[in-house]
Amino acid sequence: MDRAGWHIARDLDWPNTITPLHLPPYSPQLDPIERVWLYLRERFLSHRLFDTFDAIIDACCDAWNALLAESGYIASLGTHA
């Protein structure tokens, strides 16, 4: 768990068989989704200017769909350090 304020539930009941592990305060290398965002920025979204908000949304959707089309790539981003 990354301890983001919106990810913490104060009244969450954990089963006795589960021990939550919290990530250090800043540890993007341990959070697999950070590798996905980095890949999307580097490959599809960096060094671009957008004319409108809709153009930003379209570019993000296109980048996400391109990533999904690369079979197994999300899994590889999440498992390689």
* pLDDT value of position 9: 66
* pLDDT value of position 7: 63
Do 68 and 62 form a contact (C-beta atoms < 8 A)? Answer: no
* pLDDT value of position 80: 56
Do 40 and 63 form a contact (C-beta atoms < 8 A)? Answer: yes
Q: What is the pLDDT along the chain (81 residues), one digit of tens a residue?
A: 666 766 666 677 778 898 877 777 777 667 777 888 888 999 999 998 999 999 999 999 999 999 989 877 777 776 655
Residues 61, 74, 80: CA angle, nearest 5 degrees:
140
pTM for the model stands at: 0.59
